[in-house]
Structure 1
Amino acid sequence: MVFAIPREGKTYVGTTDTVYKKQLEHPRMTKADRDYVIQAIQYMFPDLNITKKRCRIQLGRSSSAHS
């Protein structure tokens, strides 16, 4: 199951079942998780043409900095 949550002109998509054991202040997405989410989007919405090049992932900032 994948969630898509629209917020302020963006859509947040997730989640995965990966257990994250590193710093919660600086979460990272694995390549496998990214590919899983993209494949789910492509399956449900093939006309969107979502690719990893269109993913916006900003590393090195806290999650609250994006909210």
Structure 2
Amino acid sequence: GVALTIVWGAVTVVLAAGWVVVRRLRSLRPQLRLGVLVIGAPLVLGSLFLFFAYVSTALPGSF
């Protein structure tokens, strides 16, 4: 359904952004890299969780 397309699109965007960030992190200092991971990982996971929760409640049965 439409919701599945939206979810896959969002996942693809998040993964692509994560890939770019990881590529850029290699040039950063280790301390900075750790800080970005500690801050970024919960943000990404939290936003994904909220997104899936929203989709599953707002669009029931569209999968």
> By the TM > 0.5 criterion, same fold?
no
- Taking structure 2 as the reference length, the TM-score comes to 0.32
Radius of gyration: which is bigger?
Answer: 2
Structure number with higher helix proportion: 2
Structure number with higher strand proportion: 1
The one of the two structures with greater contact order (alpha-carbon pairs below 8 A, sep at least 6) is 2
